[in-house]
Chains A and B, each alone.
Chain A
Amino acid sequence: MTNPLCLRGGRVLDPARGIDRVQDLWIEDGKIAGLGEDAPAALRGNKAVEIIDVKGAVVCPGLIDIHVHLREPGQEEKETIATGTRAAVRGGFTTVACMPNTSPPLDDRPRVEYVVRRARESGACHVLPIGAVTIGQEGNALVEFEDLASAGVIAFTDDGKPVKNAEIMRRALELTKPLGVPIIQHAEDPDLKGNGVVHEGWVSTRTGLKGIPDTAESVMVARDALLAEATGGRVHVAHMSAARTVEILRRAKERGIPMTGETTPHHLVLTDEAVATYDTNTKMNPPLRSARDREALLQGVVDGTIDCLATDHAPHTDIDKDGDFDNAPFGIVGLETALGLYLKALVEPKHLSLSDLILRMTRNPLAVLGREGGTLAAGLPADVTVFDPEQRWTVRAEEFASKAKNMPFEGWELSGTILLTLVGGRIAYRAEVPAGRA
């Protein structure tokens, strides 16, 4: 087992339990032993405890990202479970949920078991596999939901593609409802999207890049809201990008429909103006949208319409992204910049308190999945993130642990330096700079 640890003198932030005070965090046998005075006296008197000074830093539950593409199996040139989870812990994440659009897709038990095994062998953090909704993600035949769930799948999605057929979506919701897991919808009407590559608006008009209207997303979210209401199955809307989508989700929640949503860092810090230079690192799906959409997303995060914050970490090789805009693949990496970008988008402009941001990156994503955890309660696995919210750092793709470097934030100066990431009480990442500030 791991050695007993004490994270000494940090600001312990456990938003789900309303805790925000400077105190020690004690860890034993890979689990949270207690906070401050509440920790067992025997442990506090134990000379063998390794003390790590984290004064001036924030100590919070390990960050959770429920939207990550690890690319294994099949696209290991882009990312592997080993490199993707190392990127995760470098970004302060202790759990990632991985998307099933691998090659082949995660649509049967042996494939899921492969990912679970590889995660155990090579993963630096917890990996929760998400299964496909349909065989081959082709939108026709349903997967064996119960078998996949018993193999460890925690949600279902055809992410990368939507479940287009309303009848299939209806049946999937009906069949997953008893399992208590959501269908994560990549909401995008394929006909409205066409072969679009950027948000349809002034930037698409000016650049001649084919537009994707915001309605491509919101039409499907509206449909799914009706299906969720009718079936009682849970729908989670992946990577929300459009103002209309926020409005639909807000109304659905008001009506008591079992529906949740997430957004990404890039949709909160950038708008479609970023694509005007044809930089393929600004090509993502859903596309960067207008300033008005961005405002609506921020509002949705603040008022809780958007439950949680993910990354949609989507690694691609340099070669994949090197060329003209139309032919480049969609997506950017996000694990190693997420906290900094969310601080920049939400906390620095005072839209959210630090505590409310952490809630949306820890407890809330697990709640979306219907799971416990995401707190520092005694007895839970010691998944802990320590970061300095003030210390600035500069984004350098060459320093990433991810295999992929595709993102438009090179050279950005961000706050929120990750100092220490503990997974099950084990030090999974430790910054080279000394913990705590001089």
Chain B
Amino acid sequence: MIANRKDLLGLEDLSADEISGILDTARSMREVLDRPIPKVPSLRGLTAANLFFEPSTRTRLSFELAEKRLSADTVNFQTSGSSVSKGETLRDTACNIQAMGIHLVVVRHQASGAPHYLARVLDAGVINAGDGTHEHPTQGLLDIFTMREHKGRIQGLRVAILGDILHSRVARSNIWGLVKLGASVTIAGPTTMMPADVERFGVEVAPNVDAAIEGADVVNILRIQLERQRAGLYPSLREYSRVHGVTRERLRRAKPDVLVMHPGPMNRGVEIAQDVADGEHSVILEQVTNGVAVRMAVLYLLAAQKGAGDPPTDSGAATGGSTGAATETHTVEATKRHDEPTLSPRR
């Protein structure tokens, strides 16, 4: 469990037990989401700020939804990278957040390590919602959660991660989490997009997509960015698609019950063929649903350990106190397990 952490910055930092703990909590949250009224009061009185220094639609919506399902107050800050002028702004933003008494900060930033900076200077808990080309831990968690939901385990799974590994924070978080939980990870992609010394992650580097897919339980396909072509990292989308695109034909090399995953948004017909994206193996939309559950779990666990929230239980009736004094009026039941059937909405 991430019980004594202030922040979630990356899966590199977490132990296998901590990751499993989050996944278990996410299972309970997933049950909440499947209810007629999918809302619990766990984070009532807490304020979460979503700071998106880089454009994002689905991750921001997913976090915001997760916060609302947990009854947190939410504020959003979104700006395009170019309008933010350099480091002072991050510092000034941090000072403002600190002054506003925000409890949890969700941050997406184009600079790797920016959430680590905020985590150092803020009292609030910081959740990394994607930093540069470093990590995107909640995406990694939701991918692993989705795999576990379908396969019942992670240990021993053969997972292929395909595409632009160099620039992918999704790949890094997947790799850290999967390797820690005992999966066997194979990566493949253009040689220009293979990071230096990548085998030191504990992954196998396949010579091509076909070899990586061979016998895979899961195929996780990364988005290819158009700007990589401009940077000369691949000659054309046509070439990329021919050499690295996952087609129905190529997918035959995988296990018959293979899961096809993609963090979105997809370039249909480029890294993933149309009929693979919409095919019977695809769990891509399920990833989106699970994303909300996983983010609820992370928010809940960080809030609870901060002593700022109460567990999502019926006994949380004590939450009737004033929102301004959350830490005084809310009882923290650190020993309460989230997999107990205590997540009904306070209605």
Contact = CB atoms under 8 A, between A and B. Distances in A.
Interface of A: 194, 200-202, 204-211, 277-278, 319-328
Which of B87, B131, B133 has the most A CB atoms < 10 Å from its CB? B87
Contact of B91 (A202, A207, A322): A322
A202 B12 CA distance: 14
Interface string B83-120: 00011111100000000000000000111111011000
Given A278-B112, A323-B89, A326-B132, 19 more contacts: A201-B197, A202-B196, A204-B195, A206-B200, A208-B132, A208-B134, A208-B172, A209-B113, A209-B132, A210-B133, A211-B196, A319-B87, A319-B91, A322-B88, A323-B86, A323-B87, A324-B90, A325-B111, A326-B111
Contact of B112 (A194, A202, A319, A325): A325
A321 B86 CA distance: 11
Nearest to A202: B197
Contacts of B132: 208-209, 326
Contacts of A201: 196-197
23 contacts: A200-B196, A201-B197, A204-B195, A205-B195, A206-B12, A208-B113, A208-B134, A208-B169, A209-B113, A210-B133, A278-B117, A319-B87, A322-B88, A323-B86, A323-B117, A324-B87, A324-B111, A324-B113, A324-B114, A325-B112, A326-B113, A327-B87, A328-B87
A205 B134 contact: no
Contacts of A205: 195-198, 200-201
A194 B131 CA distance: 19
Interface of B: 12, 86-91, 109-114, 116-117, 131-135, 169, 172, 195-198, 200-201, 231
B85 to A, nearest CB: 9
B131 A327 contact: no
Contacts of B198: 205
Contacts of A327: 86-87, 90, 111
A201 B231 CA distance: 20
B131 A208 contact: yes
Contacts of A325: 111-113
Contacts of B91: 319, 322-323
Contacts of A324: 87, 90, 109, 111, 113-114, 117
B176 to A, nearest CB: 9
Contact of A323 (B90, B133, B169, B197): B90
Nearest to A278: B113
A169 to B, nearest CB: 25
A123 B230 CA distance: 49
Closest 7 pairs (CB-CB, A-B):
A323-B87, A208-B134, A278-B113, A208-B112, A205-B195, A324-B111, A202-B197
A43 to B, nearest CB: 57
B24 to A, nearest CB: 27
Contacts of A319: 87-88, 91
A210 B110 CA distance: 12
Contacts of B12: 206
Contacts of A209: 112-113, 132, 134
B174 to A, nearest CB: 14
Contacts of B87: 319-324, 327-328
A208 B135 CA distance: 8
Nearest to B118: A324
Contacts of A277: 116
B216 to A, nearest CB: 23
Which of B89, B109, B111, B134 has the most A CB atoms < 10 Å from its CB? B111
Contacts of B112: 207-210, 278, 325-326
Contacts of A326: 110-113, 132
A256 to B, nearest CB: 35
Nearest to B195: A205
B78 to A, nearest CB: 17
Nearest to B134: A208
